[in-house]
Amino acid sequence: MDKYSIEIPNTRTGTQRTITLLLLLMNILVFAYIAFGAETQKNTTLCIIGASVNAVALLALLGVQRFPFLKTVHAGIAFIISAIIWAVFGKFLLTILMLLFGAMAIHNSGKLFIRFSAEGIRYPSFPEKTFPWENVSQVILKDDVLTIDLKNNQLLQFNLAPEVVAGIRVDEFRRSMGEWVDKSIVNGQ
């Protein structure tokens, strides 16, 4: 069970947004192109649905800052619907890619939390990484900066929001981190 769960800033949002915009735009263009050349009404209808779903997701992504209610429209769902349409067309590589992008978009859209427990530190990557305490040199929380120093010379640092730090009992957190790191050293790991 996690003893501490601390929200960390999502620094990948700019890159994720750019990739999502490009994928939505490509889906719109490809579905529109196929719709104009489709030989059957079924294919035309599926392509129009695919282009429309991706267009709505694109408009929502572009207008979310001006109209916050658009957060309910999620690009990951558009990618999953696109994957279903590609599967109907028999394009299984595109299906797999769209499902992967959909899962990543849904996973990365929420807040990111780094979790501390007696077993180790769980880092919110895709897939999630776990750092056992025997791989951790020290954990420092000072001046709204969380620093995790790993024994492989990897250093993770996060500037935490003041309201996040205000919700942490810093003395208790430091004591727990010291105990867990020291316990792994005493056990000879």
- Interhelix angle 92-108/13-37, rounded to 10 degrees, is 150
In a domain? residue 8:
no
Q: Into how many domains does the chain fold? A: 2
Q: CA torsion sign, 42 to 48 to 53 to 54? A: positive
Residues 58 and 132 in one domain: no
pLDDT for res 78: 93
Residue 14 exposure: Cα atoms within 13 Å on the Cβ side: 2
pLDDT for res 131: 92
In a domain? residue 144:
yes
Task: For residue 45, give its domain range.
Answer: 13-108
Dihedral over alpha carbons 19, 20, 24, 29 (to 10 degrees):
-10
The candidate with the shortest Cα–Cα distance to 79, out of 99, 61, 94, 55, is 99
pLDDT for res 104: 84
**How far is residue 152 from each of residues 118, 135, 146, 178, measured CA to CA in Å?**
20, 7, 18, 19
pTM: 0.68
Residues 131 and 151 in one domain: yes
pLDDT for res 74: 83
Q: Which of 88, 108, 128 is the last residue of a domain?
A: 108
In a domain? residue 117:
yes
pLDDT for res 68: 76
Residues 144 and 57 in one domain: no
Residues 90 and 120 in one domain: no
If DSSP states are collapsed to H, E and C, what string results for the chain? Answer: CCCEEEEECCCCHHHHHHHHHHHHHHHHHHHHHHHHHCCCHHHHHHHHHHHHHHHHHHHHHHHCCCCHHHHHCCHHHHHHHHHHHHHHCCCHHHHHHHHHHHHHHHHHCCCEEEEEECCEEEECCCCCEEEEHHHEEEEEEECCEEEEEECCCCEEEEECCHHHHHCCCHHHHHHHHHHHHHHHHHCCC
pLDDT for res 36: 87
Instruction: Report, as ranges of residue numbers, the positions in the chain whose pLDDT lies below 70.
Output: 1-2, 72, 184-189
Residues 132 and 165 in one domain: yes
In a domain? residue 3:
no
Q: Which of 79, 108, 137 is the last residue of a domain?
A: 108
Q: Which of 53, 88, 108 is the last residue of a domain?
A: 108
